[in-house]
A = this chain, B = another copy of it.
């Protein structure tokens, strides 16, 4: 696959994020307008709600883009997703009549919103390097991986109400914390607030009973970058025996653009060799991961960013399709708009770790910033930014930014303004 040329010149730059090959979907507004659906192309957004209204480009007979979220469109299923995408690509391809030109808005002038209504949010723990790093820190090298880890894509239900779009500031949370030498817990602002670099899979089609990995893959509409903000000190005290709860509930930032599964097709790669054979229901019918380069930067307030981690989604042990198949085994109904976090994506090297907990090894080896100073965990005013792209032949499939600035904790969390 090579670059598909568009009559929108900015879409043809070889290092651009949004060529015609990509066409991710989002929800945007401009000054004085209501949020509506759009697609990113070069440095522009094509107003897809308007194209539907005008009858220039429709997905089906009834409108589905007359709402500020992609859920209604997602419900139509993969055949419609593919047919719509093909028509949109034709409309924007080099040589086509520029009928869509009046419906272009510069990305620079747009405010982005959550691209879909998040039905429920599940977060997994499916990166082996991450699980081994964290396990080694907490339980020692011999017991790093829990006994079930090589058999189950371990996950827990997160909080859908915590999901915010890139650019939303995040407030340092209060919570119950207890140091190893304390007799009793205290209620205090988290002092070990962290990121987790993840990819989020957006479930497009619902299910009613257990599904195979192949069926699960077809249910996935697309992917976003996801930062699972984590209060490590709250988590350490609360998580036994029922898992993380308030430590993960402050915010979960996702990138504004859903990169479709179709756009990622050329970048499929297989999961790693299996240390322990998987049960048949988790067998993959083909490559289910994607070769996506990922990076994290940290910028102290008013300073330039330092890249603190570089990794790749292919480092995962379980794919989103496997996670989704496992999620349905009990008969758990999955719905359009469900969001599945991959789990932290760490690579095998120190520089490829997807959280500050791992990068600073629990605070023992602080990370140096290019602008001076070090970080064990996030400090007030820091802006954390996740980026990612799949590299094609002369083009890229980019995800945009997944970014948030940490605001200081409230002085009195119960004071009402």
Mark A residues whose CB is within 8 Å of B.
Answer: 119-120, 125, 146-148, 151-152, 154-162, 171, 173-176, 178, 184-187, 209-212, 231, 234, 237-247, 249-251, 276-277, 279-281, 326-327, 329-335, 410, 413-414
Interface SS of A by simple majority = loop
Q: Is the CB of B245 within 8 A of A279?
A: no
Q: Is the CB of B160 within 8 A of A330?
A: no
In the complex, the count of this chain's copies comes to: 2
CB-nearest residue of chain B to A172: B331
Q: Is the CB of B414 within 8 A of A210?
A: yes
Q: Is the CB of B156 within 8 A of A176?
A: no
Given A120-B159, A156-B157, A187-B281; A250-B175 close (CB under 8 Å):
no
A146 to chain B: which residues have CB within 8 Å? Answer: 240-241
CB-nearest residue of chain B to A139: B241
Q: Is the CB of B157 within 8 A of A245?
A: yes
Q: Is the CB of A246 within 8 A of B329?
A: yes
A243 to chain B: which residues have CB within 8 Å? Answer: 156, 239, 241-244
Q: How far is the CA of A142 from the CA of B249 in the complex (A)?
A: 32
New A-B contacts (6) at CB < 8 Å, excluding given A151-B185, A157-B245: A162-B333, A174-B330, A187-B280, A243-B243, A246-B327, A329-B413
Q: How far is the CA of A171 from the CA of B152 in the complex (A)?
A: 22
A159 to chain B: which residues have CB within 8 Å? Answer: 120, 157, 332
A152 to chain B: which residues have CB within 8 Å? Answer: 176, 185, 237-238
A246 to chain B: which residues have CB within 8 Å? Answer: 326-327, 329-330, 332
Given A173-B331, A332-B159; A212-B414 close (CB under 8 Å):
yes
Q: Is the CB of B414 within 8 A of A184?
A: no
A281 to chain B: which residues have CB within 8 Å? Answer: 187, 414
Q: How far is the CA of A394 from the CA of B159 in the complex (A)?
A: 43
CB-nearest residue of chain B to A211: B414
A156 to chain B: which residues have CB within 8 Å? Answer: 156-157, 242-243, 245
